[in-house]
Amino acid sequence: MSAYQPDSPPPTSYAHAPTQIIQAAGTHFAYRELGPQGGTPLLLLNHWGAVLDNFDPRIVDGLASKQRVIAVDYRGIGLSGGVAPRSVDEMARDTIALIQAQGVAQVDLLGFSLGGFVAQDVVLKAPELVRKLILTGTGPAGGQGIDRVGAISWPLMLKGLLTLCDPKTYLFFTATTEGRQAARAFLQRLKERKTGRDKGPTPRAFLRQLRAIEGWGRQAPQDLSRLHLPVLIANGDQDIMVPTALSHDMARRIPHAQLLIYPDAGHGGIFQYHADFVSKALAFLAE
């Protein structure tokens, strides 16, 4: 399958966007795209173990109302080929190859959680390829607590199994009434696509991505003062997966970065406040 041609009508919603395949870096990558053609596309990089169906359709549809949006599966995840990398470095190199394979001069990047690690590394490796950067629910290389993501997550994943509840309820949202309501609404949105759904991650891919996350937390800090492009950072004020303090740390180290912290929100703060986030992200991208 090939990318949309400029004269092809884009799909009207992410729930109905067809899954497509593109060749890059010696394998094939699954992706979906929607929104107006032309201009700088926005590439979405998602969290640990996420496939195409884990992108919040409200955020994708909202962003695609103004800009071409491309959501991708990492190597070895979902319908993409190959074996999942065990380092952020490899994932960043795959992403650079994907950008080049799309045949565009530049992209905007939005990285959530693990995707934010990858996005930072992409910009440091190939700054000429990225126009603007949005980092959400994420942290810098060597950030304190990132190497403990597994230790924090496993008990809450077990809790999810025992309570017959999606673990993202506990991992992405607070335990308050508002947090639980936001979790239910988010999980319902992820079910809106009824046909042509992506393939879930294998246990092997899940564990290999965890190695990449832990390695990112243990590696030497990167020089974020080299990020001279516009950067928007967003998170909840109670992120237990990638501690909120790391969002503040990145904002201090990245020149002129904008910081957006949502109250009574966790790792999935942008999902809980999706309407506000989309509005502010679109304004940032349009500046």
Tens-place pLDDT, residues 238-276:
999 999 999 999 999 999 999 999 999 999 999 999 999
Q: What DSSP string describes 175-190?
A: SSHHHHHHHHHHHHHT
Helices (H) and strands (E) in the chain, counts: 10, 8
Tens-place pLDDT, residues 80-131:
999 999 999 999 999 999 999 999 999 999 999 999 999 999 999 999 999 9
Asked whether residue 8 is domain-assigned, the answer is no
Separation of alpha carbons 222 and 211, rounded Å: 19
Asked whether residue 167 is domain-assigned, the answer is yes
What pairs with residue 70 in β-bridges?
33, 43
The strand pair at 69-72 and 27-34 is best described as antiparallel
Question: Structurally, how many domains does the chain consist of?
Answer: 1
Asked whether residue 136 is domain-assigned, the answer is yes
Asked whether residue 245 is domain-assigned, the answer is yes
Q: What is the pTM of this model?
A: 0.95
pLDDT bracket for residue 12 (50, 70, 90)? confident
Task: Determine the structural domain holding residue 180 and report its residue range.
Answer: 19-286
Output the domain CATH number for residue 168.
3.40.50.1820
